[in-house]
Chains A and B, each alone.
Chain A
Amino acid sequence: MHIIDVNSQILKENSRLAEENKKLFAKYDLHVTNFMSAPGAGKTTVLEETIKRISSKYKISVIEGDLRTSIDSERIEALNIPSYQITTGTVCHLDARMIHNALHDFKLEGSDLLFIENVGNLVCPADFELGEDLKAMVFSVVEGAEKPKKYPVMFHSVEVVLLNKIDLIPYSGVSLEELISNVKEVNPSAKIFPISCRTGEGIDEWIDWFIGKINSK
């Protein structure tokens, strides 16, 4: 009987593949954003609204992650944007291998931006690097002001938080000030944009910041 000092990262294989993805993205001079949120926060709608405003300037590709169906991919393709649907079955997040495998079929040559829409889940996607440049989070205000404190790992892992559906605030009783203060508590350096995809409020501010981010890469 003897002890073997393994001292190994459990997710080292994911990290290795994420690094490979990163190299491939760099080869195509591609800026990659990983959008995460709970189910129904409005990730796909945020992508649609973002695409509508910048697709004349940038060539965009999208990878969609869902447990089932290609509904989201079809929505993106309706905007004449190439989209690749990953259906994970029962897996609650995208990992670097799924992206790696998708890149065998999904050609990124000529694209400027890649948006990856992760599986709707407020916990698991935060643990898996994909090789992205930017981690963004969409949070619908009606989910409740206390959620950043309850799910701090994901809120802490992102650079930008889009607080979506602010048009519903009058009906929900959620305090936007309290929500923003809770996001800042968990992630003081996060950039926060209150937005509404329905009314368009705040979207231009998010886009301006995002374009600045792309240009600073």
Chain B
Amino acid sequence: MHEVGIAQSILTIVEKEADKSGASNVKRVKLIVGEFTGVVKESLEFALDIVKKNTSAQNAEFIIETVKLKTYCQECDKTFIGKDDAHFLCPDCSGILGIVEGKELKIEFIDVE
């Protein structure tokens, strides 16, 4: 349950950015969370609800976009998206698949007033 720590890191960055722009109220925060991280969306939402209290983002809506695991085989030049199993061998040539997407843990934008 390290989502509380992640939520605190998010709030630190959000408050700093809001401060820089002279805004007093954060309306929306857009987050990008890869499926292949240890972060669970529901736990993060729960943690953000607690951590945002008494900050400039206390009324903010946190929009979490999850990114499916996307892997790529260099040999076959093929991409695989959103399989249930985290399987890192190419089904065609048994080569090792690299991660293209799914490790993201980012704040995309904040909407302030």
Residues of chain A having any CB pair with chain B under 8 Å: 1-14, 91-93, 95, 123-124, 126-128, 149, 152-154, 156, 184-189
Q: Nearest 4 CB-CB pairs, A to B?
A: A152-B86, A124-B2, A1-B113, A123-B38
A127 touches B107 (CB 8 A): no
* Chain A residues near B110 (CB-CB < 8 A): 3-4, 6
Best-surrounded residue of A95, A153, A184 (most CB of chain B within 10 A):
A153
CB pairs A–B below 8 angstroms (28 shown): A1-B111, A1-B113, A2-B111, A3-B109, A4-B17, A5-B108, A5-B109, A6-B107, A10-B6, A10-B13, A10-B31, A10-B105, A13-B9, A14-B9, A92-B1, A95-B5, A123-B2, A124-B1, A124-B38, A127-B2, A149-B86, A152-B36, A153-B37, A185-B87, A185-B89, A186-B88, A187-B88, A188-B88
Contact-size category for B: 20 to 34
A123 to B17, CA, bound (A): 30
* Most chain A beta carbons < 10 A, residue from B13, B36, B86, B109: B86
Cβ-defined partner of A10 (8 Å) among B27, B88, B106: B106
Specify which chain A residues have a CB less than 8 angstroms from the CB of B112 in the assembled complex: 1-4
| B11-61 interface (Cβ within 8 A of A) | 12-14, 17-18, 21, 27, 31, 36-39
Which of B5, B13, B14, B89 gathers most chain A CB within 10 Å? B5
B70 to chain A, nearest CB (A): 14
- On whether A8 and B37 interact (CB within 8 A), knowing A149-B86, A152-B86, A156-B88, the answer reads no
CA distance A40 to B105 in the complex (A): 29
* Prevailing SS type, chain A contact patch: mixed
Interface residues in B75-113 by Cβ distance below 8 A to A read: 85-89, 96, 105-113
Check B10 for interface membership: any CB of A closer than 8 A.
yes
Which residues of chain B have C-beta atoms less than 8 A from A189's C-beta?
96
Please determine whether A127 and B38 come into contact, CB atoms closer than 8 angstroms: yes
Complex Cα distance A124/B3, Å?
Answer: 9
Point out the residue from A4, A92, A124, A184 that lies within 8 Å of B109, measured CB to CB: A4
Residues of the A chain whose Cβ atoms lie less than 8 Å from the Cβ of B107 = 6-8, 10
Q: Which residues of A contact B109 (CB under 8 A)?
A: 3-7
Contacts A1-B27, A189-B96 given: A8-B106 contact, CB under 8 Å? yes
Chain A positions within 8 Å of B106 at CB level: 7-10
CA distance A10 to B11 in the complex (A): 9
Residue of B nearest to A150 (CB): B86
Q: Which A residues are in CB contact (< 8 Å) with B1?
A: 92, 124
Given the complex, which residues of B lie within 8 Å of A92, measured CB to CB?
1-2
- The answer on a CB contact under 8 Å between B96 and A153 is no
Residue of A nearest to B26 (CB): A4
Which one of B1, B13, B88, B110 has the greatest number of beta carbons of chain A within 10 Å? B88
